[in-house]
Amino acid sequence: HYEPVTDNEYLADFYRDTPRYSFAMQVYLLNRRFQQHQEIIWRGRSAVQDRTIYEDSIFAKMLATTGLMDARDYRTYVDLFKNMSNFMCKPSVIVYLDVSPASSYERIRMRSRDVESTIKLEYLEALHAGYAEFVQNISKVVPVIRVDYERFATAEEMAEVIRREYLDASFLRQVTRFDPTR
């Protein structure tokens, strides 16, 4: 399931006037991803999502902390996400394709999408920091395979490594002593 880009009616407005459209954009994406999430559950089969509903919180939080989303709007977004999460199933694994902000910036320039022409490196750096925090937190409840995306020549090569890691890795945690302070 791919991220809605070509049919996203808020995307151009969001990049043109981010503070004005940040809340509408985040609610739109949250709704679309929730719809995808529910379709996956209803079909009862495994699926791969380009970007999960859980990642939306990274963008919303970054927009709020950088002043690009009103604090009241962010609280409303968080409440909506919490309510939706009551109807979600956590994924069996998250594959995090880690790319440096500089490489992301270069890829955006090479894609040459008009709507992305105003993206600044600082925006990508803030997102990268948000992803680092997200991966640290989500890995406590969902296994995460972190892939240094810049080290792979082809998507096929990377997919094979991910497949092997997922099939071969053990997510069993060993506990050798009890620590009541943790």
Could you list the active site residues? 50
Please say whether the beta carbons of 161 and 149 come within 8 A. Answer: no
* Maximum separation of any 2 CA atoms in the chain, in Å: 56
The Cα angle at residue 55 between residues 53 and 61, in degrees rounded to 5? 120
CA distance 111 to 81: 31
Q: Is 105 left (phi over 0), alpha (psi -120 to 50) or beta?
A: alpha
Please say whether the beta carbons of 25 and 10 come within 8 A. Answer: yes
Please provide residue 110's backbone torsions phi and psi, each rounded to the nearest 5 degrees. Answer: -70, -35
CA distance 145 to 75: 30
CA distance 128 to 5: 20
Amino acid symbol at 156: E
